[in-house]
Structure 1
Amino acid sequence: MSRTEYYDDPAAPRPNSLVVAASAVVTDDEGRVLLQRRRDNGLWALPGGGMQPDESLPGAAVREVREETGLDVAITGLVGTYTDPRHIIEYGDGEVRRQFNVCFRARVTGGELEVSDESTDLRWVAPDDLDGLPMHHTQRLRLAHFLEDRAAPYLG
């Protein structure tokens, strides 16, 4: 299914759903960040997705990382909340989503790195190499806030 992301675009379609979602900045011992290349739009992104009715937001982040990367993780902190109404996601099935995303920090506790059906590639990326990857503005914002190592989470 295709996915188109809009940001501050007057031509963006009007949302017909609001989704609570979680994502995670997973790092390795070398300080690299785990990214996936999304199958639906070809862009690099943090692992993450919608919360299920029977789980917590941290639990959603752990589940999504496992589903999308094969890795088990432990949540270690909070990067921030991302609720900008100018960010709209349109899917090929007609859903036009406004997303409320909570982005966590996480470390690997087990599992084996494995590409899922939602991605075409997984990569550990050094912070200095992030700018060279095609990525949506909202993903760059989360990574920038993570790399700033803020004393308090971003609230936006």
Structure 2
Amino acid sequence: MDHENMHSVSVAGVIIDDQGRALLIQRRDNGHWEAPGGILERDEDIVSGLLREVREETGLEVEPVALTGVYKNMPRGIVALVFRCRAVGGQLTENDESRAFRWANADQVRELASEAFAVRVLDAMSMHHAPAIRQHDGTHLLNVTHSYL
């Protein structure tokens, strides 16, 4: 297998509260603000991985509502599937991966998160019918004019 051409798949859950705000976590490893999520394990289905990652990073149990975007980090070969979710149980709990939580409106998301991660949350907060499909370099969006199918 050509390891240079391999990809990994990650999932993220954008949890929206009843005020329309999204939950951001502050990652313990780099201090960045993002939606909770992570890399799928090889033997794990997409929804199970989403539920596991969100629970591990937040302490919340969620229900996925809709796939809101597919994003590719071009240099690293990571494809991320992002879902709008609603919390159905649990409570926010700091852990080894998350050191803080914040419920943020769209303007606050833009201020806190890098462009490549803010857009995932903003896409999930909007009510587009088709999932967004975007590429980025880890920080900035690429080919912005071709955002939707």
- When structure 1 is superposed on structure 2, of 138-147 and 69-78 the one drifting more is 138-147
1:62 paired residue number: 51
The share of aligned pairs that are identical, in percent, is 37
Contact 2:106–2:122, Cα closer than 8 Å, also in 1: no
1:36-62: CA deviation from partner (whole Å, max 9, x where unpaired): 001111110000001112221122111
Task: Give CA-to-partner distance per residue, 1:47-92, whole Å, 9 cap, x none.
Answer: 0001112221122111100000000000110111112414x3xxxx
Q: Determine which structure has greater relative contact order: mean sequence separation of CA pairs < 8 Å that are 6+ residues apart, divided by chain length.
A: 1
- 1:121 to 2:110 alignment: no
Q: What TM-score do you get using the length of structure 1 for normalisation?
A: 0.76
AA aligned opposite 1:149: M
Task: Give the conservation status (yes or no) of the 8 Å contact 1:65–1:71.
Answer: yes
- What corresponds to 2:79 in structure 1? 100
C-alpha separation in 1, matches of 2:57 and 2:131:
25
Following the alignment from structure 2 to structure 1, what is the Cα–Cα distance between the partners of residues 116 and 110?
13
Are the counterparts in 1 of residues 71 and 133 from structure 2 also a CA contact under 8 Å? yes
Conserved 8 A contact 1:19-1:99: yes
Unaligned 5+ runs, structure 2: 135-149
Letter in 2 for 1:114: T
Q: What is the one-letter code of the residue matched to 2:125?
A: L
Please identify which structure carries the higher helix content. 2
Asked if the contact 1:58–1:104 (Cα under 8 Å) also holds between the matched residues in 2, the reply is no
**TM-score, normalised with respect to structure 2:** 0.80
Q: Which residue of the partner structure matches residue 152 of structure 1?
A: 130
Distance 2:71 2:111 in 1: 23
Q: Distance in 1 between matches of 2:47 and 2:94?
A: 22
Give the counterpart letter for 1:99 in structure 2: I
The list of structure 1 runs, each at least 4 consecutive aligned residues, that deviate by more than 4 angstroms after superposition, is: none
Structure 1 stretch displaced more, 139-148 or 66-75: 139-148
State the 1:112 CA deviation. Answer: 1.1
**2:37 is the alignment partner of 1:48:** yes
Q: Which of residues 72, 80, 85 in structure 1 aligns to 2:74?
A: 85
Counting only pairs closer than 5 Å after superposition, residues 134-153 of structure 1 correspond to structure 2 as: 135-153=113-131
Q: Paired residues, what number? A: 131
* TM-fit CA distance, 1:151: 1.2
Cα distance in 1 for partners of 2:110, 2:43 equals 37
